[in-house]
Amino acid sequence: MIIAVDGPAASGKGTLAEGLACHYGLPHLDTGLLYRAVGLAVADLEDQPGFEEAAIAAARALDASHLQDIEELTNARTGVLASKVAVIGPVRQALFDYQRAFATQPGGALLDGRDIGTRICPDADVKLFIQADSKARMERRARQLEKRGQVVDRYALFHQIEERDARDMANPHGGFYKADDAHLLDTTLLDIEAALRAAIAIVDRTMALKAGH
């Protein structure tokens, strides 16, 4: 079984994806980490000549060893760098192959990101599109960062999320929209347990329908 989970920054898709992968015993790939690792590799060249070429080379050289420093990869600044490399076509192409290989491993997989249901796994068995309003997303991300001991400027964080949303929505190579056959789950008013229960119900129902029950 392949499950695709998409949604905007801090929509709760990462936590939900982890819970679903654990529930169904599927290997999980957080595809945002790939873009973040590429962004981090070229941070010194941000907004300078050579940024694109360096990002393409970093994407082609990417392997699992670049995905270890979760603290550095998941900070807000790296999210902005990720959205800057994510608009470069050849970067997406290099990461496409990595994601496809993960998705098609025997036994299935769960991938979360922005374009999983539209571009990476249009053939996924179940597609979920997670959304939540911008303020709720900012507050969740702020609490995550605070839990890690980081000091959070909520105003700046809100703008970073909006900036990232805007760049993502304008991404010409994106596909950052809900696939026609994706199930919409709005988590604005749900805590993680309720959101996970709702997502499991969607997956079970979809798989039962597919099996003809």
- Footprint of ligand C5P (CB under 6 A): 9, 31-32, 35-36, 79, 82-83, 86, 113-115, 164, 168
Considering the complex, what minimum distance in angstroms separates the CB of residue 86 from ligand C5P? 3
If you write DSSP's letter for every residue of the chain in order, what string do you get?
Answer: -EEEEE-STTSSHHHHHHHHHHHHT--EEETHHHHHHHHHHTGGGTTSTTHHHHHHHHHHT--GGGG--HHHHTSHHHHHHHHHHTT-HHHHHHHHHHHHHHHTSTT-EEEEESSIIIII-TT-SEEEEEE--HHHHHHHHHHHHHHTT----HHHHHHHHHHHHHHHHH-TT---S--TTPEEEE-TT--HHHHHHHHHHHHHHHHHHHTT-
Nearer to ligand C5P by Cβ, of 79 and 190: the residue is 79
Q: Nearest to ligand C5P by Cβ — which residue?
A: 32
Candidates 96, 94, 93, 81; CA nearest to 51 is 81
Considering the complex, what minimum distance in angstroms separates the CB of residue 78 from ligand C5P? 8
Considering the complex, what minimum distance in angstroms separates the CB of residue 168 from ligand C5P? 5
Considering the complex, what minimum distance in angstroms separates the CB of residue 59 from ligand C5P? 11
Nearer to ligand C5P by Cβ, of 36 and 183: the residue is 36
Nearer to ligand C5P by Cβ, of 74 and 206: the residue is 74
Nearer to ligand C5P by Cβ, of 26 and 38: the residue is 38
Nearer to ligand C5P by Cβ, of 169 and 201: the residue is 169
Considering the complex, what minimum distance in angstroms separates the CB of residue 98 from ligand C5P? 11
Candidates 122, 128, 118, 105; CA nearest to 176 is 118
Considering the complex, what minimum distance in angstroms separates the CB of residue 51 from ligand C5P? 15
Nearer to ligand C5P by Cβ, of 82 and 103: the residue is 82
